[in-house]
Structures are given as structure tokens and as C-alpha cells.
């Protein structure tokens, strides 16, 4: 076959030589040199083949969502040589990207527009059993000294798929607590802002560094258990005793006192999913001179039937220590109930309305008791894009109202 290609090339070369003045001997020498180079290349990397397109599908995982990057393949090729991996699979056949983001407009006591989050997922499958997941986030568009935002690494862990539905992970990961902490892309929940119960009590989003195991059974049951770094809640200042302010975000975090999280979950085939979760802190305020062990207990449920859905959550902290007790911050809790109804259309779009009642008590400098009412609408032109609007009434300590009208647009891919 190569002789035929070379002969054809010679014929073409002869035709061109009369116009260029190149002699037959010179032309033959050039083709002989080209043939030698081709033989050396193919002896090292294999025969040249035109790449073909294929769709790469990643195995399902508990990691961050991502979109598959399709790549050409077809055995060894010159592409592999350029990528420094001759004869092997190219890195981009096993690497995927994804992400989400959301823009918010809040009007009321304070008028403000903010690109709240821009998030990038970068994942890689080493083989069928070992995978890497990561989540990189920029909050509030701008970070730096005196700026409102932060750059954060929310996830970066290695996951190992073991036998019989068992998996393990090690690194920085989101804790398996509540409804939103692991799944919080804007197109997956109602309301412009994430609900304040999970924000102030759990506190979503909450990630730590450590290791965990998960098990899924064919019956729909499953469990998660992990040991990881803990909170360091301040006991002085304007954010004193705030659970949310205790997140160390695995940034040169104090590892003197460790913590553990556990969850038991069930997802039936009838649209019902429930979970019970717990988090234990050996010392929730490691900077304090006293011993402040703490326990979070909670439960969550979701039910879907046709267009109707309802979500509910309750969570409660009990914290030891004289300083927390003296500040009336030793018991912090909250719950919400959120019914909704949605309509789907033939063009793939969907619209849904919801209402949410929340009640919670938490500490941030002082203890705060809050009742909150939210109602609004979500519109999904496609599943991965959402436009939102809601009206929120927040009554704190039974005497002050804060009413806001909120708009948002979000996406995930």
C-alpha cells in the first residue's frame, strides 16, 4: 500500500518537475528522504491513522456534576506524541469540566446586584475505580484585600470505587448534611437565595478535610460516615457563637480537634427520599480555654408526585460550655417546610411556584429568633438554566420586619 502511495507521489512529482526545473535524480532523492522519515516515525509510534470522533461517557459518581469533553481517538497517533504519551490514552478523554453560577438582584431595605457565585468543576477519571473531583469558586465577582469576594477551593478529593456499592474518598469534600450542602446548583432549588435555616444552622455550604466511606444498597438504603477537620467558632466579637463563622475552610486550619459526620438515607421508587444526619465536634471552639463539645442532629425529607413536591428539614445543635450557655447560644436550631407545584411544557421548559415557612434561632454576637415567609416562582427554559423571583418577609425577635423582592438567574452544566 505504501508503494502505491509513493508511486503516485512520484508521478505527481514528475508532472511538477518540468515546471520547476527539478531533475529526476533530485526528485527521487527527496522522496527517498521522506520515505525514510516516515518509516522511522511509524516504527516508533505505529502507522498513521486519521482520528475518528467518539462520545466518551463517564461512570456515575457522587462527585461534582460535569460535562463530558468529547475527544478524537483511534489508537496511537501523532496526537499522543505531541501530548507526551505515545501509545496511551489522551488525558482529555478522561477529564471533564462543569460548573454553575448565579446573578442576584435584591431590592428592599438594601438595593444590591451581585454575581454571587461563579464555580468551575474539574474532574478526572484515572481508571474505572479511581477518580478525582474538584470545585473551585469565586464569590461576589471580586476578591482581594478590602474586596467583597473570596476565592475558595470547596472540593478536591480522590474517590475510590470499591466492591458491592462501597466507595471511599479522601481530601476536601462537602459534608453529607441537610438538603443543599452537597447539591446546591441554582437550577436544583426554589428561591433566589439559599434557605437561611441551612445557611445559619448546618451551615451550608460546609466543607472539611478528611476521609469518608459510603455504601449504597439495592433496597434504596445507604449510609455515609467520615472523620474530618472541625469548626472553630469564635466566642467574642460581632460574630461570637456563630456556627457559620466557625468554618475554617481547610485553610491552615487548626487540626487539634477533629470531628465526625454520619448520614443514613433512603430513596424509594415512589418519589420519597428521607435522611437522618449527625455531626459531632470534640471541641467546636478550639480557641477557647473551656471544653466545648457539640452535637448536631437533623432530618430531611423530599416527596415528588407529578407536579407536586414538598421539602422539609429540621436541625439542632447542642453545645457544651459555660460561655455558650451564658450567651444563650448552647442550643441553636431551625426548621422549614416548602411545598411547590410545577408545570412542564412540550418545548422542554417548566415553570414552578413555591412557598416556604422557616423558623430558626441562632447566635451571631447575640441570640436571634427568626420567623421567615417566602413565596416565588422559578422558570426553567431548559433544565440547566433557571430564572427566579421571590418575595421574602423576615421577622426577627418578633418586632422587626425586613421585606425584600429578589430576582435571579442561574445555570449549571
Per-residue pLDDT 10s for the chain (413 aa) are 444 444 444 444 444 444 445 565 665 666 677 666 666 656 655 565 554 444 434 334 456 765 444 333 444 343 443 344 444 557 678 999 999 999 999 999 889 999 999 999 999 999 999 999 999 999 999 999 999 999 999 999 999 999 999 999 999 999 999 999 999 999 999 999 999 999 999 999 999 999 999 999 999 999 999 999 999 999 999 999 999 999 999 999 999 999 999 999 999 889 999 999 999 999 999 877 899 999 999 999 999 999 999 999 999 999 999 999 999 999 999 999 999 999 999 999 999 999 999 999 999 999 999 999 999 999 999 999 999 999 999 999 987 788 999 999 999 99
Q: What are phi and psi of 198, to 5 degrees?
A: -70, -30
What residues have CB less than 8 Å from 20, skipping those under 6 apart?
none
What is the per-residue pLDDT for 84?
Answer: 42
Comparing CA positions, the residue from 279, 296, 292, 297 lying closest to residue 324 is 292
> What is the spatial distance between Cα 206 and Cα 249, in angstroms, rounded to a whole number?
8
The pLDDT assigned to 292 comes to: 96
115 touches 140 (CB < 8 A): yes
Query: Cα(199)–Cα(361) distance, rounded to whole angstroms?
Result: 12
Number of Cβ atoms within 10 Å of the Cβ of 110: 8
Query: What integer pLDDT is reported at residue 34 of this predicted model?
Result: 67
CA atoms within 13 A on the CB side of 60: 1
| pLDDT, position 289 | 82
Q: Which helix (H) or strand (E) covers residue 326, if one does?
A: helix 322-326
Alpha carbons 193 and 191: distance in angstroms, whole number: 6
pLDDT attached to residue 45: 56
Whether the Cβ atoms of residue 90 and residue 80 lie closer than 8 Å to each other: yes
Q: Which H or E run contains 5? A: helix 2-20
Quote the cell numbers at residue 102: 448565579
Please say whether the beta carbons of 313 and 336 come within 8 A. yes
**CA atoms in the 13 A half-sphere facing the CB of 365:** 3
Q: What is the four-CA torsion angle of 357, 376, 207, 288, rounded to 10 degrees?
A: -40
- Quote the cell numbers at residue 270: 415512589
Count of CB atoms situated within 10 Å of the CB of 11: 10
- For 8-12, the CB contacts below 8 A with 24+ separation are none
Comparing CA positions, the residue from 280, 302, 292, 162 lying closest to residue 228 is: 280
Contacts of 86 (CB under 8 A, 6+ apart): 44, 45, 76, 80
The pLDDT of residue 314 is: 98
Residue listed under C-alpha cell 447575640: 366
Provide the whole-model pTM: 0.80
Q: Is 94-412 assigned to CATH 2.40.160.10?
A: yes
Cell numbers describing residue 8: 503516485
Tell me the Cα Rg of the chain: 29
d(CA 388, CA 378): 5
Give the cell for residue 330. 448552647
Q: Which three cell numbers stand for residue 168?
A: 471511599
What distance in Å separates the CA atoms of residue 392 and residue 403, rounded to the nearest whole number?
6
Amino acid at each position: 500500500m505504501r508503494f502505491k502511495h509513493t508511486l503516485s507521489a512520484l508521478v505527481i512529482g514528475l508532472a511538477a518537475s518540468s515546471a520547476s526545473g527539478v531533475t529526476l535524480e533530485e526528485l527521487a532523492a527527496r522522496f527517498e528522504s521522506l520515505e525514510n522519515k516516515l518509516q522511522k516515525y511509524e516504527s516508533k509510534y505505529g502507522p498513521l491513522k486519521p482520528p475518528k470522533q467518539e462520545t466518551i461517557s463517564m461512570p456515575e459518581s457522587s462527585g461534582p456534576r460535569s460535562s463530558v469533553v468529547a475527544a478524537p481517538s483511534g489508537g496511537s497517533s501523532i496526537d499522543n506524541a505531541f501530548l507526551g504519551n505515545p501509545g496511551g490514552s489522551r488525558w482529555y478523554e478522561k477529564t471533564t469540566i462543569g460548573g454553575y453560577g448565579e446573578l442576584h438582584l435584591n431590592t428592599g431595605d438594601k438595593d444590591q446586584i451581585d454575581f454571587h457565585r461563579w464555580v468551575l468543576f474539574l474532574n478526572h477519571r484515572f481508571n474505572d475505580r479511581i477518580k478525582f473531583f474538584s470545585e473551585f469558586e469565586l464569590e461576589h465577582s471580586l476578591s482581594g484585600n478590602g474586596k467583597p469576594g473570596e476565592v475558595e477551593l470547596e472540593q478536591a478529593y480522590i474517590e475510590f470505587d470499591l466492591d458491592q456499592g462501597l466507595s471511599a474518598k479522601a481530601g476536601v469534600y462537602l459534608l453529607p448534611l441537610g438538603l443543599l450542602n452537597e447539591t446546591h446548583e441554582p437550577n436544583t432549588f426554589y428561591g433566589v437565595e439559599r434557605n437561611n435555616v441551612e445557611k445559619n444552622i448546618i451551615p451550608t455550604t460546609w466543607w472539611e478535610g478528611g476521609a469518608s466511606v459510603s455504601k449504597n444498597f439495592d433496597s434504596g438504603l445507604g449510609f455515609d460516615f467520615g472523620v474530618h477537620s472541625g469548626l472553630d467558632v469564635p466566642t467574642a466579637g460581632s460574630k461570637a457563637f456563630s456556627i457559620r463563622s466557625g468554618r475554617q475552610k481547610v485553610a491552615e486550619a487548626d487540626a487539634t480537634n477533629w470531628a465526625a459526620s454520619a448520614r443514613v438515607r433512603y430513596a424509594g421508587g415512589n418519589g420519597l427520599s428521607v435522611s437522618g444526619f449527625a455531626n459531632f465536634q470534640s471541641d467546636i471552639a478550639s480557641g477557647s480555654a473551656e471544653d466545648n463539645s457539640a452535637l448536631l442532629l437533623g432530618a430531611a425529607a423530599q416527596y415528588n408526585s407529578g407536579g407536586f413536591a414538598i421539602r422539609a428539614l429540621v436541625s439542632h445543635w447542642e453545645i457544651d460550655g459555660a460561655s455558650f450557655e451564658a450567651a444563650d447560644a448552647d442550643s441553636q436550631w431551625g426548621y422549614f417546610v416548602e411545598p411547590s407545584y410545577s408545570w412542564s411544557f412540550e418545548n422542554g421548559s417548566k415553570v414552578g411556584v413555591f412557598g416556604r415557612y422557616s423558623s430558626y434561632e441562632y447566635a451571631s454576637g447575640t441570640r436571634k429568633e427568626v420567623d421567615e415567609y417566602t413565596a416565588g416562582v422559578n422558570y426553567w427554559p431548559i433544565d440547566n438554566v433557571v430564572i427566579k423571583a421571590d418575595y421574602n418577609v423576615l421577622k426577627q425577635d418578633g418586632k422587626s420586619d425586613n421585606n425584600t423582592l429578589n430576582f435571579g438567574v442561574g445555570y449549571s452544566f
